[in-house]
Amino acid sequence: MQRRTFLQGLAAAGALGSLPVSSLSFANTIASVSVESLPKLEGDLTLYLGRGEGGLYENVLDAIKKRNPKLNLKIRRGASAALANTLAAEAKAGVKRADLFWAVDTGSIGMVTDSGLAKPLPTDLTTQLKDGFQYPSWTPVTGRIRTLPYNTERVTPDQIPDSVMALADSDLALGWAPAYASFQSFVTAMRILEGEKATADWLKGVNSKAKKYAGELGVVMGVERGEVDMGFANHYYTLRLKAGKPNANVALAYTQNDAGCLVNASGIVALSEGDLPVNFIRYLLSREVQGYLASEAYEIPLVQGVTPPQGLPALSEISPPDMDLRKLADLRPTLNLMRKVGVL
């Protein structure tokens, strides 16, 4: 409830509200496409929408619908992983209900693309994306970085290791949210990069000293209050906290070339042929929508030329691991491992 209230406060401060997308003013660059140049959307579309971002995705959809009154957009909402499983089950039964799937994590996207349900996207759409985020059968929408939020009164930058694996043996008091989906994707990346045994040892080491929180906003707030020295969380929770409390005693650190600095993404898949699903995706990659999600959700715009949220280094200045994000699709081995070592 605390997270919901926090995000509603941010949304109320600068949300789309009743405004059409075209009335918003954000970063203008020739590398991104404005909604003014996009074709009108007309016809029936069904979108399966993974819940997330405190209603900000809903604001985007409302703005798109207001700009396109002849678009009949039906939305089915649910957890991203549950909707991905539903899509697979519907396909197996020969039932087709969805034209688009917008997920808050790439693991769910991978489940759908691996099932052969995704339709190819035109290159003029995918080449709007930054290098490393161009895929033929799905497109990222916005990015998020795994970070180490730390209390600036309890920890100095020189105390923070460059490797996330080193934290299992450190003397730092840690906070984490192991039941949280983003954390489990991070552990999945660690399992792929470091191996099963190293990941199990890391989980055991951290579990012996870490304070558990229900979610990653709670982790960041616990860090800021001094309950722990450092935590594990996506970047935007810290930026959102600092937006409401500029003098908060929390800053972000980044590891190098490991799961601790993974750049993950929300993403969307076209499930039906034709121009309408593809043109809908173009709106999500527009300058206005990307700018809105950067300024209000503090997510990282992945089209070229849109200003990222303040308080983050450029993607070119950090060292994330090189990974096909769809590999994060299968969480079962990760959950089994976390249960085996007593984390869940």
SS3 40: coil
State how far the Cα of 126 lies from the Cα of 106, in Å rounded to an integer: 16
- The residues facing 269 across adjacent strands are 101
Number of residues that make up the chain: 344
Flag whether 237 is marked binding: yes
What is the DSSP secondary-structure string of 105-133? SHHHHHHHHHTT-PPP--HHHHTTBPTT-
Strands 300-301 and 230-231, how do they pair?
Answer: unpaired
Are the CB atoms for 142 and 129 separated by under 8 Å?
no
Instruction: Tell me if 236 is assigned to a ligand binding site.
Output: yes
Sort strands 174-176 and 139-151 into parallel, antiparallel or unpaired: unpaired
* Element spanning 250, H or E: strand 250-253
**How many Å apart are CA 286 and CA 141, to the nearest integer?**
10
Q: Closest Cα partner for 104 from 55, 69, 44, 159?
A: 55
Which residues does the annotation place in the binding site? 236-237
Which residues does the annotation place in the binding site for Fe cation? 236-237
